[in-house]
Homo-oligomer: A and B are copies of this chain.
Amino acid sequence: MPENARATHLDAVRERNLASVLGAVAHHQPVTRARLAELTGLTKTTVTGQVAVLERLRLVVGADPVRVGGRGRPGAPVSLAPGPVAGLGLEVNGQYLAACVLDMTGAVRARATVAGDNRGRRPDATVAALADLAGRIAAEAAASGLDIVGTAVALPGVLVEDRVNAPNLGWDAVPAADLLTAALPVQPFGVTVDNEANFGALGELWYGAGQGAGSYLYLSGETGVGAGIVVGGKLFRGAHGAAGELGHVVVDPDGRPCRCGGAGCLEQVAGLDALLRTAGIPDASGTAAAGLAELERRLAEGDPAALQAAAAAGAGLAIALTGAVNLLDPDTVVLGGIHARLAPWLVPTVEAAVARSGSRLRGRTPAVRAASLGTESAVRGAAGTAIARIFADPGALA
């Protein structure tokens, strides 16, 4: 039996149309009310009313009347307001905490990072440190006239029923959303928690290398390897929110056993630890960043072990991504995290494999690119998500 649609009431129409007008402003700013009416299919009357609401919510402001030289009365254009409404993105990582404030226009208005080893630290201690960082950056934002209305937090782990498993942090079934909601100030849009790969995918989609792609796959490589899947501009989360575990796709049936219980997983050839091991770089624990830098140096020099490590990673990625492309049919594949840094050694292999496989079926070959936001993909995506929630339901600010 097909599923059924949820009932809608009249006020829902208003809310939807408010979101629709705000979205049209975002995509076409600066834009007049008359043009908004064309864009949304609503009448001028309705648009005027909705714009008035959005102005009252301080989400849009009147812009300078940019005349191009038409005939009649010139329109009074509106644009997204560069404040005071803002969203906060936070990120917890093995090596650092990061924060980033975005205003409605998507501009970065504040950012901060706190280095420190979060692996093995107690979850509540990490959450307290994050709340402290959030408090400081919120104060900084307030000083420049911004008001944070929602927060999103990127974690390096899998969400299972509102609990987070993050092996690289030593977190096991931690109710992260609850802890964070309790630790952070109350906000109209509350706190959203998700996987670092998912937010990274959105970050690159909105502000980085994924712009313009309707559907794409973002590969997030650190110690572990994960993927964020975007379809039609939205995250694909799977049935229980655990989609995108690309790191545990089997790329070598006879390969090394993996901490996931399987063997020959992608993570065992393309994760940071695996790369350093194969390249013969000592695992000076806690200095992952240093290890990566050393690997890059040796690759640039042409060190054979390093090149072999990159080749193995490239081959593994090629197999895993070929499979993912056949299964998901994306526009674009973006390599993020360590794989963005190693892109020169990986992209050609991956691109060739993806182009070869299935090309005779699909006709079209997805582009393969390196991420362009570096280590910021996930925080930016998180902050963007906080903003996106405002776009989805601006009326909730009232």
Contacts and interface: CB of A to CB of B under 8 A. Distances in A.
A362 B158 contact: yes
Given A249-B326, A261-B359, A5 B26 contact: no
Contact of A240 (B227, B265, B362): B362
A327 B327 contact: yes
Contact of A6 (B8, B9, B10, B20): B20
Given A7-B40, A158-B361, A243 B19 contact: no
A358 B248 contact: yes
A71 interface: no
B4 A239 contact: no
A236 interface: yes
Contacts of A353: 262
A231 to B, nearest CB: 7
A206 B253 contact: no
Interface residues on chain A, size class: 35 or more
B242 A231 contact: no
Interface in A317-331: 319-320, 322-324, 326-331
Nearest to A247: B326
A250 interface: yes
B4 A391 contact: yes
CB-CB nearest 6 A-B residue pairs: A4-B23, A238-B329, A215-B239, A262-B357, A249-B323, A2-B388
A245 interface: yes
Contacts of A56: none
A13 B23 contact: no
A393 to B, nearest CB: 9
A297 interface: no
A9 B42 CA distance: 8
